[in-house]
Amino acid sequence: MSLLFSEVTLRRQDGKDIIFYESGHPDEYDMRELLKYEGRYASLRTVGLNGLTVQVQHYRFLGGSKRDWLAEAEHIALIKAYDEMVPDVLFTQRDDVEHLEYYEFQM
């Protein structure tokens, strides 16, 4: 099984980083649409998106066991839970997670 996900880091002008996870690999156009219309990003819109730096990193989790079908349904929640339980090594730093692509743009 292979899960595709992206880590989205939103860097505000005050230097504060906010991290979201997205399923799949959204391109820049998709990310701009998500930032404008997706409910999870609504709090950012109230403060304004101008000057926001958006960094997107694409990953593939290379799981292999049959029980990993559970991860397919809720893999973002599992990634967050893993990061909370094992703070020394983030999920994206595991040997079975492959970093695929990175891009950044300004709003």
- Give this prediction's pTM: 0.64
The structure tokens listed for 33 are 């649409």
Q: Which residues, 6 or more positions from 83, have their beta carbon under 8 angstroms from its beta carbon?
A: 90, 91
CA atoms within 13 A on the CB side of 14: 5
How many helices (H) and strands (E) the chain has is answered by: 3, 4
β-bridge partners, 99: 59
The per-residue pLDDT for range 33-51, each reduced to its tens digit, is 998 898 888 877 777 777 7
d(CA 21, CA 57): 10
Residue 50's domain comprises: 2-106
Is pLDDT larger for residue 65 or for residue 52? 52
Total count of domains within the chain? 1
